[in-house]
Structure 1
Amino acid sequence: MTYEEYLDEVTTLLTEMYKLNDEAAIKYVMRAQAADYFSQHDDHEEMRTLDRAMKDAKIVYETRNKSRPEIYRK
């Protein structure tokens, strides 16, 4: 899958796995992307798998906005 499709998959998994609304899931992925979490995924196509997307969704969720998580709750 392309890099953009991969980010979309991680976002979708966040909504499904953690019952987040779309806006919150998108913000989590955008913050992780801004922090260069997905840089290697852009460079290495073999990192963009469904299994990896599930692991990345968990990591992104667990490390989300620790200082103010309440602003992203449903």
Structure 2
Amino acid sequence: MAKHMTYEGFLDEVTTLITEKYDVADEVAIAMVMRAQEDGFFSGHDDTPQICTLDRAHEDARTVFKKYKPA
């Protein structure tokens, strides 16, 4: 079974993965994650912390980058 993270730790991991995978500045990655959070993208993660795994963080980093990357 995959180890899950806290909600806050999960958001930090998604942000870190975006900076590492897509070579964007920390501030840009933080802004993308914050926009996704404001849109409710992570609402299920807060309700069900068991989905806050490293594998899911990789998936969500990819999705957040595709949807919220700067023009």
**Could you tell me the TM-score, scaled by structure 1's length?**
0.87
Partner of 1:58: 62
Residues 1:25 and 2:29 are matched in the alignment: yes
Q: Which runs of 5+ in 2 are unaligned?
A: none
Question: What percentage of aligned pairs have identical amino acids?
Answer: 55
The residue matched to 1:63 in structure 2 has which SS? helix
Describe the superposition over 1:5-40 as per-residue Cα deviations: whole angstroms up to 9, x where unpaired. Answer: 000000000000000100000000000000000000
Residue in 2 aligned with 1:2? 6
TM-score by length of 2: 0.90
Is 1:41 aligned to residue 51 of structure 2? no
CA deviations over 1:44-65 (Å, ceiling 9, x no partner): 0111000000000000000015
Structure 1 unaligned regions, length at least 5: none
CA RMSD, 1 decimal: 0.9
Question: Size of the alignment, in residue pairs?
Answer: 67
